[in-house]
Amino acid sequence: MMAALARALVDRPRASLQELAAAVGISKATLYRLCRTRGHLVERLVHHATTRITEAIEAARLDAAPPLAALERLITNNLEHRELTTFLIRYWQHTPTAAGVEAGWDAALDAFFLRGQRAGVFRIDLAAPALTEILVALLLGLIDAERRGRVARASLAEVIERAFLRGAGV
């Protein structure tokens, strides 16, 4: 239900709580029990989305798995939460928790790319933070492009991985 609410807020940014409830197939009373205000709904969705994305990053085992396997899992895991990612694209900068969570994600990805560079998997002429930004930009851009119907869902993970590795691979 949280992913559906996230998508509804992206698709209908000015919708009332009643309209959002109808969009996801629940009663206004059910949504009201979950969140009494639109602001509270956004806060809960940001918390839910950041938790799920943090779990997706952790499940990729960036610190221990072989770099290419970890990269594939990272992409796949994040695509499983595409509705939440799309929500964060729209609402992220308006939340107080954004900076701390983002710093943790950046640190995990930077360390992963540095480890991959040391292993000879990723090119060394780009700094690890640059590789992080390139991958995040690809993920966010293509998730949004898929939502808009510009790229196919079926091959999205492969497109992201190939596009990234052709630019960052050794």
| Three-state SS annotation for the chain | CHHHHHHHHHHCCCCCHHHHHHHHCCCHHHHHHHCCCHHHHHHHHHHHHHHHHHHHHHHCCCCCCCHHHHHHHHHHHHHCCHHHHHHHHHHHHHCCCHHHHHHHHHHHHHHHHHHHHHCCCECCCCCHHHHHHHHHHHHHHHHHHHHCCCCCCCCHHHHHHHHHHHHHEC
CATH number, domain of 22, equals 1.10.357.10
Which pTM does this prediction carry?
0.86
User: Per-residue confidence at 102, pLDDT binned at 50, 70, 90?
Assistant: confident
Query: End-to-end distance of the chain based on CA atoms, in angstroms?
Result: 42
Average pLDDT of the chain, as a whole number: 90
Query: From CA 112, how far away is CA 65, in angstroms rounded?
Result: 10
Q: Which residue has the higher pLDDT, 137 or 91?
A: 137
Domain residues for the domain of 153 are 2-168
30-83 per-position pLDDT tens digit: 998 888 888 899 989 998 999 999 999 999 999 999 999 999 999 999 999 999
Residues with Cβ within 8 Å of residue 35, at least 6 apart in sequence: 17, 41, 44
User: Per-residue confidence at 97, pLDDT binned at 50, 70, 90?
Assistant: low
* Helix 156-168 vs helix 67-79: crossing angle, to nearest 10: 140
User: Per-residue confidence at 99, pLDDT binned at 50, 70, 90?
Assistant: low
Q: Which residue has the higher pLDDT, 6 or 100?
A: 6
Q: CA torsion sign, 155 to 73 to 166 to 147?
A: positive
Q: Which residue has the higher pLDDT, 90 or 95?
A: 90
Supply 114's token pair: 């540095």
Query: From CA 100, how far away is CA 104, in angstroms rounded?
Result: 7
> Bridge partners of 105?
none
Q: How many domains does the chain have?
A: 1
